[in-house]
Amino acid sequence: MPESVATIITEIKDIASGVLEKDVSTIRGFSERQVEAIAKQTVLIQKGVESGDIDEDLREFFLDGLEAMALNFVNTLKGILMVTLEKLWNALVKFLYKAVGVVV
């Protein structure tokens, strides 16, 4: 059981770092793939507009698709972050209970 405030602070920081570092890798990999897909789609639309293959109406259709991709990206990140924060909260509470002698 931790004996001092300094020890508890160190443990909390270590727990937070462990959970966050692990999940940041997951988030980073996901976001890189998604951002690349959004960028590629944007370039394809840009080239189609410049060449005239995509007219005004079709451009609006593709822009709606880009908006949907961006929204999906943000919502997925939000979900991953919520799960990460929940894991962090659970780990911290488990440690704090243990620190005061409560077995969970």
H/E segment holding residue 53: none
Q: How confident is the model at residue 77 (pLDDT cuts 50, 70, 90)?
A: confident
How many C-beta atoms surround the C-beta of residue 87 within 10 A? 16
Please tell me the distance from the alpha carbon of residue 67 to that of residue 39, in angstroms, as a whole number: 12
Q: Is the pLDDT of residue 12 over 80?
A: no
From 40, 37, 22, select the one nearest 80 (Cα to Cα).
Answer: 22
Largest Cα span, the chain: 71
| Assessment of whether the complete model's pTM goes beyond 0.75 | no
Please tell me the distance from the alpha carbon of residue 40 to that of residue 27, in angstroms, as a whole number: 20
More confident residue, 103 or 68: 68
Q: How confident is the model at residue 3 (pLDDT cuts 50, 70, 90)?
A: low
Q: What are the helix (H) ranges across 1-104?
A: 5-51, 56-99
Q: Is the pLDDT of residue 56 over 60?
A: yes
* Residue range 15-41: mean pLDDT, rounded: 81
